[in-house]
């Protein structure tokens, strides 16, 4: 029986899918794509006659039913997910349902939007001696977040943070970050539709970002990035320091 192929579509720019993802997409007989976030230009890679489903208006049972029929008909089925499916990709529930039906699957990773957003800004999350960790998280909304993962608690680390799925609550996010210990003048950026043609970058400080985001009418498809990695402080890495020898350079 054919496998289901989960493919990460990348953050938007249609050239940011992997070669392997592109291969799967161009060979697919059935594609189920997340229409709310995947750039439809990627569907140009599909062959003629490929059946295309937009999962935005489907529930889990309907998605699984299309996958099941596809495998029964010996068709190549691709599930095209935004960015990389390992981050807020709801792949777990799909995988569990497929296992119940004894349908196998494989996965081809994609470029997550938090990487696309860093490229849009041309920044490094891990600036030597400024920040060496990245927290990927979201604010609590209709989807609960475990209490130990509150934005306030993460803010205490003062390391690089990327907040998904939360720009519509920017006011609440800012309040929690400040409550957690970030100074009000901490650098923050909001990247809307990173790597898309209509990408927008908004930079500010915790104290003024809410107004800027609202003035720009941004309420979805954006990431909030916060931390000193966005600021003017930096140190050079040891890796390329001429006085620093290592395994590959003496
Ligand atoms: N699996 C995806 C994330 C899905 S959750 C990934 O790896 O990127 C959906 C959220 O991702 C959106 O609410 C937004 O916060 C973020 N997102 C997805 N694509 C984006 C893009 N191109 N630019 C900015 N944020 C994006």
Alpha helices for the chain (secondary structure H): 19-27, 60-72, 91-100, 113-121, 151-155, 170-179, 209-215
CA of 144 to the centre of ligand 1 (A): 18
Q: Which two tokens stand for residue 48?
A: 């003629």
CA distance 245 to 250: 5
Secondary element (H or E) of residue 8: strand 4-8
Residue ranges covered by each domain of the chain: 4-108, 113-230
Residues within a 6 A CB radius of ligand 1: 11-12, 37, 82-85, 87-89, 112-113, 116-117, 164-165, 191, 193-196, 221-223
pLDDT, tens digit (0-9, with 9 covering 90-100), for 108-135: 999 999 999 999 999 999 999 899 999 9
Distance 220 CA to ligand 1 centre (A): 9
Distance 14 CA to ligand 1 centre (A): 15
Q: Is the pTM of this model over 0.85?
A: yes
Please, which residues have CB within 8 angstroms of residue 250's CB and are 6 or more apart in sequence? none
Tell me the CA–centroid distance for residue 126 and ligand 1, in Å.
20
Name the 3-class secondary structure at 135.
strand
CA of 114 to the centre of ligand 1 (A): 7
CATH 3.30.950.10 fits 113-230, yes or no: yes
Check: CB of residue 57 under 8 Å from CB of residue 147: no
Gap between the Cα atoms of 23 and 31, Å rounded: 13
Ligand 1 closest atom vs CA 220: 13
CATH topology of domain 4-108: Cobalt-precorrin-4 Transmethylase; domain 1 (3.40.1010)
Taking the CA of residue 85 as reference, the ligand 1 atom at the shortest distance is 1
Displacement of CA 80 from its chain's centroid (Å): 14
What whole-number distance in Å separates Cα of residue 77 and Cα of residue 91?
15
Q: What is the pLDDT of residues 1-48, one digit of tens each?
A: 789 999 999 999 999 999 999 999 999 999 999 999 999 999 999 999
DSSP 166-185: -GGGHHHHHHHHHHTT--TT
User: CA distances (Å), 47 to each of 31, 157, 168, 235, in order?
Assistant: 10, 48, 37, 49
pLDDT tens, residue by residue, 198-218: 999 999 999 999 999 999 999
Label residue 245 by pLDDT band (50, 70, 90): confident
């Amino acid at each position: 029986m054919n496998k289901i192929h989960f493919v990460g579509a990348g953050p938007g720019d249609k050239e940011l899918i992997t070669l392997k993802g592109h291969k799967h997409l161009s060979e697919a007989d059935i594609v189920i794509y997340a229409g709310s976030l995947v750039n439809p230009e990627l569907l140009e890679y599909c062959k003629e006659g490929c059946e295309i489903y937009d999962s935005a208006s489907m529930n889990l049972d309907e998605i699984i039913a299309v996958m099941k029929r596809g495998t029964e008909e010996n068709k190549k089925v691709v599930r095209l997910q935004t960015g990389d499916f390992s981050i807020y990709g709801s792949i777990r529930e799909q995988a569990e349902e497929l296992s119940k039906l004894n349908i196998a699957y494989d996965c081809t990773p994609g470029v997550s939007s938090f990487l696309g957003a860093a490229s849009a800004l041309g920044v490094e999350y891990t600036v030597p001696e400024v920040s060496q960790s990245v927290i990927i998280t979201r604010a609590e909304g209709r989807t609960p977040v475990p209490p130990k993962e509150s934005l306030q608690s993460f803010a205490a680390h003062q390391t690089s943070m990327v907040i998904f799925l939360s720009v519509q609550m920017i006011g609440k996010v800012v309040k929690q970050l400040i409550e957690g210990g970030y100074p009000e003048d901490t650098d923050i950026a909001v990247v809307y539709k990173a790597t898309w043609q209509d990408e927008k970058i908004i930079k500010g400080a915790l104290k003024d970002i809410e107004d800027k985001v609202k003035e720009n009418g941004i309420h979805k498809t954006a990431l909030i990035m916060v931390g000193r990695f966005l600021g003017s402080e930096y140190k050079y890495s040891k890796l390329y320091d001429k006085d620093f020898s290592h395994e590959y350079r003496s």
